[in-house]
Amino acid sequence: MATNENLPPNVIKQLAKELKNLDETPPEGIKVIVNDDDFSTIFADIEGPAGTPYENGLFRMKLILSHDFPQCPPKGYFMTKIFHPNIATNGEICVNTLKKDWNPSLGLRHVLLVVRCLLIEPFPESALNEQAGKMLLENYEEYARHARLYTGIHALKPKTKSKTGAISESTTALNVDQVNTIPSGKVPLAPATLTAAAASKGSATNSQDQNACVALSSEPQKKEGAVAAKAQVDKKKMDARKKSLKRL
């Protein structure tokens, strides 16, 4: 059984500070379960975001920290069964924040918010659950039906009332006012589209929350932006060549 002895003293000190902060000011929809004797495995209960197929569900997840943390990212797993493109049947979570985009300066709050944002905006292009990924791309209604079925069977119900008809503040990791509803049968709103409303929230915690989902939702957009920029450059080169030929 892993204990705090597996982690360096300075890491334990930082984790204790982070866990205390998460306990005192938890992100909306996320409850961290603290075990003072073992910081190498962090458990958290995540409420399914309102307006998604995971609404009214409560999902237990865990982050496993190796002795190389924070130089190496933690490994994330859902312990509650869930039907989601980026969560494997064994619960493994696939998100760039826990892989190639990991940065030692990222805290537990950021990681947990990104995971909850993943329930709002899945990325079927990098699916661990191929069935869910294919279904999401080809037939959202069928995907949502499967996800709701899993939620109803496997996910515990939150004790407190969840807000319906709107994405709750921390599900977007933006602390957005409750005005953005998700129409039935539509792909959930990308958190990136909601950042403007969140800009008015000025606390340091809210700023961290915003960065978490903005980073997540912008992952596929980086490639699209690069392609668009290249296309514009190619067009300018072609126009220049045409002008040169006319002069000849």
- Catalytic residue positions, numbered: 94
Nearest CA to 59 out of 128, 152, 137 is that of 152
- Position 221, amino acid: Q
- Position 80, amino acid: T
DSSP, res 87: B
Nearest CA to 188 out of 132, 94, 93, 122 is that of 122
Instruction: Tell me the β-bridge partners of 58.
Output: 47, 156
Tokens 């953005």 belong to residue: 180
Task: Give dist(CA 28, CA 121) in Å, integer.
Answer: 17
Q: Which segments of the chain does DSSP mark as H helices, in order?
A: 9-24, 108-120, 130-138, 140-154, 195-198, 204-217, 219-247
Q: Which segments of 51-194 does DSSP mark as H helices, in order?
A: 108-120, 130-138, 140-154
